[in-house]
Amino acid sequence: MSYVGPSVVMRVLVAEDEEFLADAIARGLRREGMAVDVALSGDDALDKALLTPYDVVVLDRDLPGVHGDDICTRLVDAGAGARILMLTASTTVRDRVDGLTIGADDYLGKPFAFDELVARLHALARRPRVVAPSVLQRGDVVVDTVRHEVHRAGAPVALTRKELGVLRVLIAADGAVVSAEELLDRVWDEHADPFTNTVRVTIANLRRKLGPPPMIDTVIGAGYRVR
* CATH entry, 11-125, from 3.40.50.2300, 1.20.1050.10, 3.90.25.10, 3.20.20.150: 3.40.50.2300
| Fold adopted by 135-226 | Arc Repressor Mutant, subunit A (1.10.10)
The crossing angle, in degrees rounded to 10, of helices 198-210 and 161-172 is: 80
CB 66 within 8 A of CB 45: yes
pLDDT over 70 (residue 110): yes
Spatial CA neighbour of 214 closest among 141, 158, 143: 141
List the chain domain ranges.
11-125, 135-226
Angle value at C-alpha 129, between 41 and 141, nearest 5 degrees: 115
Q: Which pLDDT does position 115 carry in this prediction?
A: 93
Burial class for 73, CB neighbours closer than 10 Å (0-12, 13-18, 19+): middle
Does residue 12 contact residue 56 with C-beta atoms inside 8 Å? yes
Q: What is the mean pLDDT of residues 149-160?
A: 92
> Is it the case that residue 3 has pLDDT exceeding 70?
no
Residue type, position 26, single letter: A
Strand-pair category, 141-144 with 149-152: antiparallel
Cβ distance 38 to 68 under 8 Å? no
pLDDT of residue 7: 40
Q: Which ranges of the chain would DSSP assign to H, the alpha helix?
A: 19-31, 42-51, 68-77, 93-101, 114-125, 161-172, 180-187, 198-210
Give φ, ψ of 19 to 5 degrees. -60, -40
How many residues are listed for the chain in this entry? Answer: 227
pTM over 0.85: no
pLDDT in tens, 160-195: 888 988 998 898 888 889 888 888 877 876 666 666
Nearest to 75 by CA among 34, 110, 109, 42: 42
Which of 156 and 146 is assigned the larger pLDDT? 156
pLDDT digits (tens, 9 = 90+) for 15-58: 999 999 999 999 999 998 899 999 999 999 999 998 888 999 99
